[in-house]
Homo-oligomer: A and B are copies of this chain.
C-alpha cells in the first residue's frame, strides 16, 4: 500500500481516500483482515491516533468492520463497494463538469480534450 501525503488536506482524510481507492481497485478485497492500527500507522509513517481516526470513519461508512477480539476487516458486502464506486464517480464527474463549465468550456470541447489527453 502506497502512502504519500500532500499537505493541502488533513492526513486522516487522505488515509480514508487511500483505503477507499484500494478497496475499490480490489487491492484490498472483501473480507481481508487489516493490519493492526499500530502497524498501519508505522507503515504510513503516521501518528496512531490519525490512523485510528481514519479507520473509525471507514467503519462509520460501513466499509470496514471491527471484531472486538480478532481485528478489523474489509466489509464482505460487495454491493456496497460497487455502489460506492458509482457514487464517487458521479460526484467526481459533476464536480469536474461544473468547474470546466465555469471556465467556459462546452461539453463537446471537454470531451475532445479528454480524447486528446488519452494519448
Q: Footprint of B on A, CB under 8 Å?
A: 7, 11, 21, 24-25, 60, 66-68, 85, 88-90, 92-94, 96-97, 99-100, 102-105, 107, 110-111, 113-115, 117-118
Q: Is the interface of A mostly helix, strand, loop or mixed?
A: helix
Per assembly, the copies of the chain total 4
Alpha-carbon distance A96/B68, docked complex (angstroms): 26
- Note all chain B residues with C-beta closer than 8 A to A67: 7
Q: Which 10 A-B pairs have the closest CB atoms?
A: A96-B96, A107-B118, A21-B102, A92-B99, A111-B111, A7-B68, A89-B103, A93-B117, A93-B113, A85-B103
Contact B68 A97 (CB under 8 A): no
